[in-house]
A and B are shown apart, each in its own frame.
Chain A
Amino acid sequence: MEELANGILQVLNLETILWIALGEVLGIILGALPGLTATMGIALMLPISFQLSKATGMALLLGVYCGAVSGASIPAILLGIPGNPNAIATVYDGHAMTQKGLAGQALGGAVVASFIGGIASLLLLVLFSPLIARFTLLFGPAEKATLALVGLTIIASVSAENLAKGVLTGSMGLALALLGTDPFTVALRIPFPDLLAKTPLTSGIKLIPALIGLFGISQALSDLERIREGYLSPQQIRIEKVFPPLRKIARMWRIIVESTGIGALIGAIPGTGASIAVFLSYERAKKITSSRRSKLERVGTGCLEGVMAPEVANNAVTGGALIPALSLGIPGDSSTAVLLGALLIKGVVPGNQLFTQELSLVYAIFFSLFLSNVFMLTFQLMGVRIFPKVLSVPMAMLIPVIIVLSLIGSYAIEGQAILSAIFDMGVALFLGIVGYFLKKGGYPIAPIVLGLILGGMLEENFRTAVKLAGGDYFVFFTKPIALAFIVLAFLSVGLTILRTGRNR
């Protein structure tokens, strides 16, 4: 009880509340701008969160996360262009409603749906993450090493159309994670050690510059390709009657419940992400509304039901994706990978240790997520006529600002040591360029981040497990949980190969 009060108090202070509010507004703006993703927004805010306390920093990032996921519905509804992949399915009915003159109700419905999805998934997060975290008490080095392997294989297999590309970028992330110094012997592990021994590379590739480069700079470079198209400005659209009728929402209970379940479940499966959840929930809502007995409007005809289903699901992903991140240290999607990175940088180890030794921080995270959802509802409803104006911000101005913010953000992490800080800017730029070309070639970049995050965990536990087993490499097959993880890893890879083969 004392931990709960402590956790709430860590959030219920003016400073943290203001940071959540700022994060929320920034998130909505970033989410609303087509091409700028939630992951990018969180990555850009990482350096600022690094300067704040653990709870306040996480609260800021969660604010950005919630805001960006829900803000993506604005261009989807008004322009028919999703702000980011979270709102792909909102386009169909949302934009059709705008064309019918019901833009206000579509925007309002999306916000209410986002709130419902966010709060419902938060409840699931509160309920399940401590249980799963308790399960990790049974984990020794062998189990942890195979868990890292599961994380790597699952994200590699589902984040790309092509398994091999996911494996390649995932192993690239691992290779980067292994640079620097051997964790056990402190021996240098860098190329050209005679030349580079006195450079900041000896400390390895830091996570924040890598994340900023991969998600911030690479995205900005990709957006530069679209700069000649000019900027998107919604035509004069009248926005009236924002709040959807409560009776209508109540009638949609089945769609809401199922979409929440789909969103939270898909979110909790590492590597899946909101884009899958929104399509599944949209299709499910289509089935529900097309039954003869249904009194609801048919999804696909430009109705509120078709907006609510994907919007409930994409915000339900937020809580769902945090379940494996907080309890196992395996992120549910690329956004939670960055959130996880923020925790790791602050020295917080996810899993049972987090839920026993830093329980107040866990409560602070839960409460921040709750407040973020409340702020999202309030700001989006209040600013329903203001936020669409964000679409008029020219990309010509925005992209340079994002690039400079990414560089200075990377610099700020080692803000007192100028040389290291400049090196970090170089890392961010280098990985930004690499990420840009990889994306152009159809390679997923999320596995690189997973490799970077899980690389250390994999190596430390792999070596410890083998050493404790007296040099026996079969130790991973003799422990039931480790064996189950290996089977899961093989299954995820095998199923992907089968699925790809069938699609061909």
Chain B
Amino acid sequence: MRRAIPRVFILISIFYLIFAFSLEERRMIGDERGWDPGSRALPIGTGVIMLATSIYLTLREKPAAESPEKLDEGSARLILLTIALTVFYILLFRTTGFILSTNALLFTLIYFNYRKGMEWHMVPGFGLGFVLSSGFVLLIYSLGRFITRSLVLYGKRSDLELFSGKLFTSGVTVVILALIFLATLFISGKITRSAEGKYIRISALTAPAVTEILYLVFKQIFLVRLAKGLITW
């Protein structure tokens, strides 16, 4: 790792220098005499410093400097899984929508993190949990939307501004959904007793809860336009 990084930086610096030299030289408006160092000056200077330091570091790092700490296979797999899933999450965010994609990412990561790795025999449990979790998130999302809409409608009809306020609607939604969540947690705890069941239960309940909280905070309170994707309601 220690030797690879400066080598990668040499490539990046060369690419950056080519990019900097290829930039069109423009000077600021009103600089008829050409006193402005120009738009390429700093990028070229930065590229030269980057290249010089990365060459220096490549020459200086010895093979012995290689980190003795090797990452175990399980952790490496988890990190790769996290990166790969996050890339997919970003790519599919617009099409799938915030609710489903966020829940899927959270469930998958929590489940495999709890299992401390990925093995083939975990697939059936993962599949079952994924379906349950997706179902649960759809349920609490739909219920949350229903509560919010009902409160806003009631507020408008009865001229009570409080009921249509975003903080009030979000607060009531959180309280009701929290009660449902706790009830589900309690009941599912009675049903599932095996270790596998416990992992599925925790992951399948945590992911929807976090997804819904993020939805309430960013969409309902801060009015961020979260992609709807497959969920049209």
Contacts and interface: CB of A to CB of B under 8 A. Distances in A.
Contact of B28 (A174, A191, A228, A463): A463
Interface string A433-452: 10001101111000000000
A443 B139 CA distance: 46
Interface in A28-51: 48, 51
Contacts of B86: 403, 407, 429
B5 A438 contact: yes
Contact of A397 (B74, B90, B202, B224): B202
Contact of B43 (A178, A395, A397, A438): A178
Contacts of B15: 191
Interface in A382-406: 394-397, 399-401, 403-405
Given A168-B57, A189-B23, A228 B110 contact: no
B49 A185 contact: no
B34 interface: yes
Contacts of B225: 415-416, 418, 421
B114 A396 contact: yes
Instruction: Classify the interface of chain A: helix, strand, loop or mixed.
Output: helix
B42 interface: yes
Interface string A225-247: 10110000000000000000000
A279 interface: no
Interface stretch (B101-109, B120-128, B143-151, B176-184): B101-109
A12 interface: no
A184 B39 contact: yes
Nearest to B27: A185
Interface stretch (A332-340, A356-364, A466-474, A476-484): A466-474
A462 B24 CA distance: 19
B156 interface: no
A340 B98 CA distance: 30
Interface stretch (B77-85, B130-138, B157-165, B185-193): B77-85
Contacts of A187: 23-24, 26, 39
A185 B39 contact: yes
Contacts of B50: 168, 171-172, 175
Contacts of A371: none
A54 interface: no
B218 A467 contact: no
Instruction: Classify the interface of chain B: helix, strand, loop or mixed.
Output: helix
Contact of A175 (B46, B78, B110): B46
Interface string A180-222: 0010110101010000000000000000000000000000010
Contacts of A440: 1, 67
A319 to B, nearest CB: 30
A52 B83 CA distance: 31
B75 interface: yes
B35 interface: yes
B154 interface: no
Given A185-B28, A422-B93, A466-B36, A225 B16 contact: no
Given A184-B29, A405-B214, A437-B1, A425 B90 contact: yes
Interface in B1-53: 1-2, 4-6, 9, 12, 15-16, 19, 23-24, 26-29, 31, 33-39, 41-43, 46-47, 49-50, 53
Nearest to A230: B116
B7 to A, nearest CB: 11
B230 interface: no
B46 A433 contact: no
A57 to B, nearest CB: 12
A175 B16 contact: yes
B151 to A, nearest CB: 21
A412 B110 contact: no
A14 B110 CA distance: 36
Nearest to B221: A51
B5 A184 contact: no
A469 B214 CA distance: 53
A442 B2 contact: yes
A221 B74 CA distance: 14
A458 interface: yes
B46 A397 contact: no
B54 interface: yes
B46 A178 contact: yes
Interface of A: 48, 51, 164-165, 167-168, 171-172, 174-175, 178, 182, 184-185, 187, 189, 191, 221, 224-225, 227-228, 394-397, 399-401, 403-405, 407-408, 411-412, 415-416, 418, 421-422, 425-426, 429, 433, 437-438, 440-443, 458-459, 462-463, 466-467, 469-471, 473
10 contacts: A168-B6, A191-B19, A224-B82, A227-B75, A397-B202, A404-B106, A404-B210, A422-B90, A440-B67, A471-B34
Given A171-B49, A397-B114, A463-B28, 17 more contacts: A165-B57, A168-B9, A191-B15, A227-B116, A228-B116, A397-B206, A399-B113, A400-B109, A400-B110, A403-B105, A404-B106, A415-B218, A440-B67, A458-B42, A463-B36, A466-B37, A471-B33
